[in-house]
Amino acid sequence: MDGTAGSERTFLVECYAPGIVRADVEREVARVFKTSAELRREGRNVEYVGTILVPADEVVFHLFTSQCEGTVRDATVRASVAFERIVESIQFDQPNNAPRQEAPDVTH
């Protein structure tokens, strides 16, 4: 494992990719998901949470949970994802008791 038991930490992998398009990111996501699963089978603690593509800024953010930044780095490198940096981050989710937001009406 990645050391002693402890709480999961969240890591953001920042990737700046000029010219990247959705199809490129979808292939990248599949590779990252696969390598994360491989690392778990090896006994390493890592979960791939998801990805955000910001096309206007040509940036991709991959989000992971793990106890160790090194494991996130290994998952990213094994998936052949070029990245600028990996930073620990804090994810905030919608509270369970919060009312659901309605989608804005864009039909007019």
Name the strand (E) or helix (H) holding 75: helix 69-78
Beta carbons of 2 and 71 less than 8 angstroms apart = yes
- Phi, psi angle pair for 83, to nearest 5°: -140, 160
- pLDDT tens, residue by residue, 45-93: 999 999 999 999 999 999 999 999 999 999 999 999 999 999 999 888 7
Domains and CATH numbers, the chain: 9-89 (3.30.70.3090)
- pLDDT tens, residue by residue, 7-37: 789 999 999 989 999 999 999 999 999 999 9
pTM score: 0.79
Around Cβ 32, how many Cβ atoms within 10 Å? Answer: 22
